[in-house]
Amino acid sequence: MAFDIFSTVGDYPKMLNKIALCTLIVSIAAIWFLRTQFPAFDSHLKPLNLPISVGAGINVPLATFALALMFAFIARVIKLHDRLSDVFGIRQRFDVSEILFPLALGAGASITTDQIRSLKKQRESLMYKSFYAYASSTPGKAVIDSHYITMALDQWCWYWVVLETTFIVFVLAITFLVAKHFETAAILLLLILTFIGVLQVIRKLCSDYALQEVEAILTDVQRKLAISGVFSAL
């Protein structure tokens, strides 16, 4: 199971499954840590300590695995990374600044202040009309070289993995703060700051890959005219 996390994803469903797998692994580690720090919590789970294999010769207590699997399943169903993105406006800001603006400028569209407001409001539909129409991750639907799409998707996958991991560590930190384990909580908060730094590095790589996709889309004159028309119609 653990080795699958290093495989490159080539489409959206595979990306979701990889995020869920990584979240499951992190959740197992988080619950194991809680059990070592809170004897009362551990005692409630001990009756279900039957070891089960998760691959690579690693055994995990049934109770730990079941709780981690439950959290990973919920995170997969609600798309936790999307919900976190909505809260912090992560994908919205990225789509506007790193994809839609460069596409509009590169296609020669003249955008007024009012059109900028419309662009932000219509972000999702504009992404489908001007970007995903040419850079779709659905097999067989990509117009540009699929290599650009795969690299961008894989980079975003790691971004979401780290984001969901950061959320789990944040929940742990709050738990230890409430339990007045201040030293452990402080260490976890420092770990969160480290993850935030990692997220910034990954985002820069996502920006680089997005620029490559935009440039590939704009290499065709007909595509430029079509995209210019999309933005001019705002």
One DSSP character per residue, 203-230 reads HHHHHHHHHHHHHHHTTSHHHHHHHHHH
62 token code pair: 């049934």
Q: What is the pLDDT of residue 55?
A: 65
Number of domains in the chain: 1
User: Alpha-carbon distance 196 to 183, whole Å?
Assistant: 20
Q: What is the pLDDT of residue 88?
A: 96
Q: What is the pLDDT of residue 111?
A: 82
Taking the whole predicted model, whether its pTM rises above 0.85 is answered as yes
Q: What is the pLDDT of residue 42?
A: 87
Question: Would you tell me how many other CB atoms lie within 10 Å of the CB of residue 92?
Answer: 14
Could you report the average pLDDT of every consecutive run of 10 residues in the chain (234 residues)?
Answer: 69 92 96 94 82 71 92 96 97 96 92 85 94 89 91 96 98 96 97 98 97 96 94 86
Give the DSSP per-residue string, 44-62: HHGGG--EEEEETTEEEEH
Helical H segments across the chain, by residue range: 12-37, 39-45, 62-78, 80-88, 90-94, 101-106, 113-121, 123-127, 146-178, 182-217, 221-232
> Could you give the 3-state DSSP secondary structure of residue 97?
helix
Task: Report phi then psi at 141, rounded to 5.
Answer: -105, -5
- Residue 136's domain comprises 2-232
Q: What is the pLDDT of residue 53?
A: 67
Q: What is the pLDDT of residue 2?
A: 47
Question: Would you tell me how many other CB atoms lie within 10 Å of the CB of residue 93?
Answer: 14
